[in-house]
Amino acid sequence: MHFSEDDLRNALKRQDPGPIFTQRVMAGIKQAGTKAPVRGERAGFFSNLFSLRLRPALAGALAVLVLLAGGLGYLQHERKKQREQALAKEAERQAIIALRITNAKLNRVFQRVRESQENDSKIRRERL
């Protein structure tokens, strides 16, 4: 089907919504009053904080905070790990000492038993 650019212009001609629309807009403005500042251009610290201009800076600051928090968390985790490893080594050392003491005591007990057995057999032999 053929159509010209003029046909398109005619089809897409501007249409006026009429005077009722103007009244509607003005009523909306009266209703909104002065309480609702325009998006992205609100006054005040917090609105400026979220304004388009400051958004990259805010994102950068947040990224730095996240990195710092992550770094601190990692350091704390590493310290805790080292502390636990030191405690484990100390426990191992103490266990080895305890085993050595037990071993020495058992050796002494065995030695005494052996000595008493030897004495018994000596006495028996003398009696006979």
Partner 1 sequence: MNVDRGERLEAALARVVGGDQSAFAEIVTAHQAMVFSIGWHYLQDRSLAEDIAQEVFLELYQKLLYQKPPTIQSPAHLTFWLRKVAVHRSIDQGRKQKHRRESDLEKLPEPAAEPKRSDPLLLDQLRQTVRTLPERQRMVVVLRYEEDLGPAEIAELMQMPVNTVKSTLHRSLEELRKKLTRRVGESRYAFF
Minimal distance in Å, beta carbon 8 to partner 1? Answer: 4
| Between 41 and 84, CB nearer to partner 1 | 41
**Closer CB to partner 1, residue 14 or residue 125?**
14
Quote the Cα angle for 100-98-90, to 5°.
115
- Whose Cβ is closer to partner 1: residue 17's or residue 56's? 17
Q: Which residues 6+ apart lie within 8 Å of 51 measured at CB? A: 40, 41, 42
Distance CA 18, CA 21 (A): 6
As measured in angstroms, the least distance from the Cβ of 59 to partner 1 is 21
16 binds partner 1 (CB under 8 A): yes
Nearer to partner 1 by C-beta: 41 or 115? 41
What whole-number distance in Å separates Cα of residue 42 and Cα of residue 20? 30
Cβ(50)–Cβ(58) below 8 Å: yes
Binding positions for partner 1, rule: CB under 8 A = 1-17, 19, 21-22, 24-26, 28-30, 32, 34, 36-39, 41, 43
